[in-house]
Amino acid sequence: MSIPNNPPVVVATTLFIVAFLSLCLHFTEAQIGVCNGMIGDNLPTKKDVVNLYKSNGIGAMRLYSPDLASLQVLQGSGIKLMLDVPNEDVQSLASDQSAAMQWINTNVVPFASTVKYVVVGNEIHPSDMTASSVLPAMQNVLIALKSKQLENKIMVSTSIDTSLIINSYPPSNGQFNNTAYITPIIKFLTSNGSPLLVNIYTYFAYISNEQSISLNYALFTSSGTVVTDPNNGKKYQNMFDAMVDSVYAALAKVGAPNTAIVVSETGWPSAGGDAATVSNAGTYYRNLINHVKQGTPLKPGQTIETYLFAMFDEDKKPGPNTERNFGLFTPTKVPKYGQLNFS
C-alpha cells in the first residue's frame, strides 16, 4: 500500500467527506415528521407519545420547547428531533453567549444523538420586538454547538410563516417582504449548509380567499393543471407546490437559489371552521404524504422533508376553534384518519 506524500491534505479531504456525508444523512432520514404540541390537559404520557410515534413508523418529531421528560424518553428511540428555542428565550440567547452555551449544554448535549435541528424562534415577524435577536441567537447557538463538536451533526435554523412572502402569484414572483430582516439570516443558513424552515398551510390560504382558490387545489385533488406560471411555464396542480416554490423564488432573489426548504409545519383541521372536516383533513394528509417525495415543479425530484401539524388535538390551545383540531390522533391515541403511511 502506498503512503500518501501529503497526509494533511488526505486528512482534510477525509474530514470534508465525513462532514458532507453527515449533512447528506440529514436529508435522507425520515421525510415525514410530526409536530408534538403539548397545549392540552388530557394528552398521553411522554412515554406513550414516543411509543405511538414508533408504532406508526413516524421517524421525526418537532418539540416547541425543550421538555426534559420528552427528551429523556426520546433517547434511544431512533426518532430524530427538531427542537425549538421558544420565542421568549431568543433574546436572552442573543444577548448572552453563556446563556446560549447553557441552553445547549442542558437541552442538546445530553441528547445529541437525537437532535437534528435547533430552531431559533417560530414565526417571528420583522416587526416583532424579538426580530433583531433571531440572527444573533442563531450565531450564539452555533458557537455553542461548535464548542461541543456538534456543528456537523445538528443544524441551526429558524422557522418562518408565509406571511413573509409577497407577490406569491405566480410562484416565480415570490419575494420576501423585508429583505433587511431575512437576508442576513439566509446568508447564515447558506454558509452553514442549513435549510430554511417554513410553515406552509394551504388551509389558511384557502379560507382567506375561497372565491379564487378551489378546495381541490388546496387538497391535492385537482384533476389537471390549475396554474401555469407565465414566467417559466411551470404547471401547478396543487397549492402546496405553488406555496413552496414561491419561497424558493424568494430565496433565489436574495442570492440563495440552492438553499433547501424544510416544511416545519403543515396540516388541515378536522373541525371548527370552513372546510374543516375529517374527510378534508384525511384527504390532505394522505395526499401530502404521497406527494412530498416528488418535489415541486421548480425542484422536481427533490424530496421535501415535511412535519405534519400535529400529533394530537390540543384542547387548551388559544385562538380560533380550528387551532384545537389539527391532531392526527385524539388524546386517547385513536387515529382520526385511519392508518397513514408515514414512511
State the Cα–Cα distance between residues 160 and 121, nearest whole angstrom: 8
End-to-end C-alpha distance for the chain, whole angstroms: 44
Taking each helix axis as running N to C, give the angle between helix 97-107 and helix 87-95, from 0 to 180 degrees, rounded to the nearest 10.
130
State the Cα–Cα distance between residues 102 and 289, nearest whole angstrom: 37
Distances (CA, A) of 290 to 45, 127, 215, 285: 30, 37, 18, 9
Distances (CA, A) of 24 to 44, 157, 252, 312: 34, 17, 22, 31
Q: What is the DSSP letter of 221?
A: -
Which residues are marked as active site? 123, 265
The residues, ordered by sequence, that sit 6+ positions from 240 with a Cβ below 8 Å of its Cβ are 200, 202, 220, 266, 288, 291
State the Cα–Cα distance between residues 9 and 16, nearest whole angstrom: 10
State the Cα–Cα distance between residues 285 and 252, nearest whole angstrom: 29
Strands 306-308 and 261-266: parallel
Q: Which three cell numbers stand for residue 21?
A: 456525508
- Angle in degrees, CA 317, 318, 323, rounded to 5: 65
Nearest to 261 by CA among 273, 252, 274: 252
- DSSP 3-state percent helix, strand, coil across the chain (nearest 5): 40, 15, 40
Q: Which three cell numbers stand for residue 56?
A: 406508526
State the Cα–Cα distance between residues 340 and 242, nearest whole angstrom: 24
H or E segment at 89?
helix 87-95
